Amino acid sequence: MSKENKPVQTMDPFQKWSHKWGRFGTVIALVYMIALPFIVLGYYGCIPSIGEVINLSTISILMIYIPVGISEALSYTPILGSSSYLTFITGNIMNLKLPCAVNAMKIAKKEPNTPEGDAVASVAVAVSSIMTVIILALAALLSAWISPVFELPSVKTASNYIIPALFGSLTLGLFSSTNAGNKVVKNGVMGVVPVLIIVSVLSILVRVTSGGSLFGMIGFLILFMLPIALISSRIMWKKGIIKVVDKNEIKNEKEND
């Protein structure tokens, strides 16, 4: 096929605008985050030497967080689409921004990584960020009055279950057969079963042999398990275990049951 006959893929105007200003905002945020410490250290005349910054402790920390950062970008971007820029700039992705974006798209019945889904996710992340700033500002202003509340045993116990509750709500969505659009993925959660088995076996082996844990290798595990999850999902799709079916078929199955 000649170049003239090849179909030209065009991007939605909103996605073009979002990617353009998302990159611009990311550059500004990076410059701000890198320059601010140097400005403060330079003002007080206490800029450390390269040897004090780059040492064994720093390298060990970077070995954890660099793979985590790469794996988060690879795993979250297909869901968040062009709203990823604002999400990564504001942070708190897994425990706040991602659940907000996913829930907003589910309520609006829009698919991820589409112009409509990107718009909904962007609004959800923006509103979540604004509400976070407002709540933190109020907490700072009222800290003298509300600090005794956080010392209550019941509040301390409840706060330990916030993150598990968020992960639980996201996990329930994996077991659902409903999705936006006319097509749905049935038994899609089966694609991550091999990953769960491998991680569980590795955790047990590390615990038995050395008494340690895999916490420090989370980033490497995510990078290693992402292709395994994709390959296992494709194999199960070929075998007919995971299916892409019409919504009406799912509704008929539920009615027959």
Summarize pLDDT for 236-251 with one digit per residue, the tens: 888 888 877 776 666 6
At a CB cut-off of 8 Å and minimum separation 6, what does 86 contact?
Answer: 22, 25, 122, 125, 126, 129
Tell me the pLDDT tens digit for each residue of 63-102.
777 777 887 888 888 888 889 999 999 888 877 888 889 8
Whether 139 shows a pLDDT value over 70: the answer reads: yes
The radius of gyration of the chain's CA atoms, rounded to the nearest angstrom, is 23
pTM of structure: 0.64
Give φ, ψ of 184 to 5 degrees: -135, 155
Q: How far apart are CA 132 and CA 140, in angstroms?
A: 12
**Terminus-to-terminus CA distance in the chain, angstroms?**
50
CA distance 152 to 133: 25
Residue 125's pLDDT is 93
Q: How far apart are CA 204 and CA 188, in angstroms?
A: 26
